[in-house]
Chain A
Amino acid sequence: KNQVEQSPQSLIILEGKNCTLQCNYTVSPFSNLRWYKQDTGRGPVSLTIMTFSENTKSNGRYTATLDADTKQSSLHITASQLSDSASYICVVSAAAGNKLTFGGGTRVLVKP
């Protein structure tokens, strides 16, 4: 069964600090992995998308890594800002049928 597990479920960090979110998956055959940011009451917004051959991708202060061998990904937030408070969702796409498997998300709260 295709699964995506994210950790931690939630975390609180101080403004200006860095943090790293984890994503482990068992989706096969793998097509791509995406990280989304979802503000409360809004739809998800894409941050990064990585295919099998890519092991790192940045979008401003967000840097995602992918280890396709261990089926792990991480999202690193640098110099966090209050506006980074949101849920971050890891989504893996299977090559067959292009079906998406969603992780449970990590809720990040940035405090001043």
Chain B
Amino acid sequence: GAVVSQHPSWVICKSGTSVKIECRSLDFQATTMFWYRQFPKQSLMLMATSNEGSKATYEQGVEKDKFLINHASLTLSTLTVTSAHPEDSSFYICSARGAGETEAFFGQGTRLTVV
């Protein structure tokens, strides 16, 4: 399958700071990228869907000003958690899908801990 890489794998930040997570499709052009959040022992929850070159579509209850998503190229999307708080600590996972494809491939996830 196609390769999707997330960076960093884990990050610890202080409360009030911002953190950027990158999601790259390494061997295909990702026209659509998805960002998920996963709390311990729970399944993935979709936060937002981003299409290259346009604004992201956020799911209900997800603050777009807090979780900034940029999808400026066909191989890179970024999620910035602004003014992070301890309750934002979670596992963030991206997935990427090529044009006309039905399957999206997942990154390895980023563990965010806000202290």
Contacts and interface: CB of A to CB of B under 8 A. Distances in A.
A49 B104 CA distance: 11
B68 interface: no
Nearest to B97: A98
B31 to A, nearest CB: 12
B43 interface: yes
Contact of A41 (B103, B106, B107, B111): B111
30 contacts: A31-B102, A32-B102, A34-B103, A36-B106, A41-B91, A41-B109, A41-B111, A42-B108, A42-B109, A43-B4, A43-B93, A43-B95, A43-B106, A43-B107, A43-B108, A43-B109, A44-B44, A44-B106, A46-B105, A49-B103, A89-B43, A89-B44, A93-B102, A100-B46, A100-B104, A102-B43, A102-B44, A104-B42, A104-B43, A105-B43
Interface of B: 1, 4, 6, 34, 41-46, 91, 93, 95, 102-109, 111
A11 interface: no
Interface of A: 31-32, 34, 36, 41-46, 49, 89, 93, 98, 100, 102-105, 107
Interface residue SS majority, chain A: strand
B90 to A, nearest CB: 12
B106 A45 contact: yes
A60 B87 CA distance: 40
Nearest to A46: B1
Contacts of B95: 43
Contacts of B103: 34, 46, 49
